[in-house]
Each structure stands twice: as C-alpha cells, then as structure tokens.
Structure 1
Amino acid sequence: MEQWYRHHFAREVQEQQAEDLDIKNHHLTIRDTQYFLGRAQFPDVPEIVEVEREVYDGKTPWDAQAFANELKRKQDRLYLVIRKNDHLLAFAGCSFDLQRQDAHITNIAVLPDWQGNGLGEFLMRTLVRKARHMGMRQVTLEVRKSNLRAQQLYQKLGFKQTGIKRGYYFGDHEDALDMRLSLSPAVENHDQS
C-alpha cells in the first residue's frame, strides 16, 4: 500500500510540474514591437543552434543533440523562443529541481542585431516568474567573466555573484561567474509584456 501511495503521489507531483511548466504560445509586445513567444519544439533546434553560432562567433557551446535532449525533458525543463515574422531571434532555457527547489538558467541567447531590445530581459523575467510560481528557493546561472552586458542585466534583475568557476567554458576555458537570485514569495513588480 505504501509503495502504491508513493508511486501515485510521485505521478501527481510530476503531472503538476508538467502543468506548471506549460506555457501557451502567444503574441506579445516588448518596447512597442510585436513578437511571438512559444515553448521551444524539436523543429526549433536548428535555428537555436544558429542563434548560438551567431552569438558565439561561429561556435556552438551546445550542439543540436544537446538541445534535443533538453527538449525531451518536459517534466523539469522549459525552453522558450521569441520569433518575429517566423524568424527565431532569441531563446532561453531553464531546469527546475523540485527536490532541491532550485531553478538553473541553462542558456540564453539573443541574435546580435536584436540585443538591447529587451528580449533577453523578457525571457529572464519570464523564467524567474515560473520559478517563483513553482515555489523555487533560488535561480542560478553561470555567465562568462567577459560578458559584462549580461552581468549588468542579471544584476538589474537582482542576481548576485556567488563564486567563480575557473576554466569553465569549453574551448577557450574562460572563467564563469556563478550568480544567484534568491526568491521570496513576494510578487515581482517589474513585469513587461
């Protein structure tokens, strides 16, 4: 009986988490420009990799298979894409650990020509709202030590540096700054949509 209860309860928790991570595709306005926001799907993977290639000077820190593997994990991952005129401009991903009550931003990238238009900030705020809604204690991420623009955005959103990972990035072995945002039950009042 106890085993049945645990199995049944675990299934209910998984179903609730999948529901929490559901997001409806919709149009939105950021800084007076219309975009389309949706949950990333397998057909988006080539464009996601292309965004990475443009952001990281021809390199792809994650390959198509890595993104495909992430998208399969609908119970504890959420990847969002922003499009304009059916062209993928930005994406962001987050993992959610219910047991530890931690969310971790796995990736975020905005095409260079579209940076500075609020897309990255919108994606970050959306993921932070999801984490808060799901009762996460914190949101963490790593950022390149040289990426001052991203660090400024994360600091604006309340992230604090908590450490350094030496030689973290594949290829050039650049250091990463660990950053963390502590979440409280208070509602975020800086939403944009």
Structure 2
Amino acid sequence: MWNRFRKNYLRFKSNQRETKVAEGLKFRNRNVTICGNRYFLGKGMMSDVPDILKLDQTAYPEKMKWSKQRFLQDFKNWHRHFYLILRKHDQLVGFICISLSKNNKCGHIENVAVLPDFQGQGLGYLLITTIIERAREMDLDFIDCNCRIDNHNAQTLFKDIGFVKVEVKPNHFQEELDAVCLRLHLDKTNYIGAKNFGR
C-alpha cells in the first residue's frame, strides 16, 4: 500500500515538474533598457545560430569556441536547452544557454557571451538573472556554471548575483585550464543584485 502510494506520488511530482519546465521554456520576447540603451531580449531560435556562432567566435579564445554543429545540436534538443539572445538594432550583442538535467531538477549554464564592445554595461547580468527567473519558474533545485579559473570578471559577476564556489575542476577546458564550478541554490532565498548595473 505504502509503496504504491509512494510511486503514485513520485509520478505526480515528476509530471508536475515536467509541466513547469514546459511552461518555463516559453518566453515572451520584449524590449529592455539597460544604461539608457534599448535592446531586444528574446528566446533564441535555430535561425539565430549564424549570429550566435559569430558572436561566440569573437568573444572566446580559439580553443574555447564552439562549433556550428554544437549550437545546431542544442536547438534540435530544444526541450533540454534554452537560449536567450540580446539584440541592438538587429545586431546580436549577447546570448546565454542553459541545459537541463534529465530529471529536470537542475540546470547548467553552458555558455554566456557578450560582444567585447558591450561588456561591462550590465548585459551579462541581465541574461543571467533572466535565466535565474526562468529556472525558478521551472522549479529547478539549482543552477551551476563552470568559469575558467583565470576569468575573474565572470566569477565576480556570478558571485555578485549569489552563486557560490563549489569546487575546482582540474584541466576542465581544452587548453588544460582549471574551471571553477559555481552554484546557485534556487530553493533558498538568494540575494540577487549586489549591483544594479545601470538598471
């Protein structure tokens, strides 16, 4: 009797989580203003891949760059990957990608990039905090990310938002650089927005 009840309850919770994830994957595109500049914030689509690839090639060192096939594969697995993009006058200036675990309990920020000329203006902050809002709506337990150990700016930004250091992963990146794994627990009250970044 107890085992049957437990199975039914777990099935109910799983279905409930899947419904929340499906709702969270929806996104209403909108215009946002950051530091006095107007941007389009929207859900990434397959048609955005050429621009996303170009931005990725510009923002990252040679061995950190993703292939076109990698991005296309993500969009084919749309129920496990969620992209947000930022455009200014039709120019893609930033994007972020989160992947979901099979049990829909956690998310991993796979990639976040902003054009060099637009960095330091709060665009990365907006992308990350918007993803956090999505993750909360999906009822995820936590989200994490891996930063290059020498990328102090990225680590500071994530920590300002509320992420905490979990571990160091030796030789995580191709050029044998270590990665710092940062995590944000979503079932706790986190202080988001140590800085307002012009918002």
Shorter-chain TM band: 0.7 to 0.9
Report the alpha carbon displacement of residue 61 of structure 1 after superposing the two structures with TM: 2.4
Aligned residues: 187
Question: Which residue, out of 160, 184, 191, partners 1:156?
Answer: 160
Structure 2: runs of 5+ lacking an equivalent? 1-7
Structure 2 distance, partners of 1:12, 1:75, is: 16
Report the alpha carbon displacement of residue 17 of structure 1 after superposing the two structures with TM: 2.4
Residue aligned with 1:35, SS: strand
Match of 1:123 in 2: 127
TM-score (norm 2): 0.83
Match of 2:185 in 1: 182
Alignment of 1:19-98 (within 5 A): 19-58=23-62, 61-97=65-101
Structure 2 distance, partners of 1:93, 1:155, is: 19
Structure 2 distance, partners of 1:181, 1:44, is: 28
1:25/1:161 CA distance change after superposition, 3 Å: same
Structure 2 distance, partners of 1:35, 1:137, is: 30
Where relative contact order (Cα < 8 A, 6+ residues apart) is larger, the structure is 2
Report the alpha carbon displacement of residue 188 of structure 1 after superposing the two structures with TM: 6.8
Alignment of 1:129-140 (within 5 A): 129-140=133-144
Structure 1 distance, partners of 2:117, 2:135, is: 29
Report the alpha carbon displacement of residue 46 of structure 1 after superposing the two structures with TM: 1.3
Structure 1 distance, partners of 2:66, 2:109, is: 14
Of 55-64 and 70-79, more deviation after overlay is shown by 55-64
Structure 2 distance, partners of 1:70, 1:99, is: 18
Question: Which residue, out of 109, 113, 116, partners 2:117?
Answer: 113
Structure 1 distance, partners of 2:100, 2:168, is: 22
Alignment of 1:1-20 (within 5 A): 14=18, 16-20=20-24
Structure 2 distance, partners of 1:72, 1:15, is: 20
Structure 1 distance, partners of 2:167, 2:188, is: 25
Match of 1:143 in 2: 147
Residue aligned with 1:121, SS: helix
- RMSD after superposition: 2.6
Report the alpha carbon displacement of residue 19 of structure 1 after superposing the two structures with TM: 2.3
Structure 2 distance, partners of 1:100, 1:117, is: 32
Any idea what the Cα deviations from partners look like across 1:3-49, whole Å, max 9, x if unmatched? xx9xx977886555222211111111112210001111112111111
1:166 equivalenced with 2:136 (yes/no): no
Of 68-77 and 94-103, more deviation after overlay is shown by 94-103
Of 58-67 and 37-46, more deviation after overlay is shown by 58-67
Any idea what the Cα deviations from partners look like across 1:65-85, whole Å, max 9, x if unmatched? 111111122222210110000
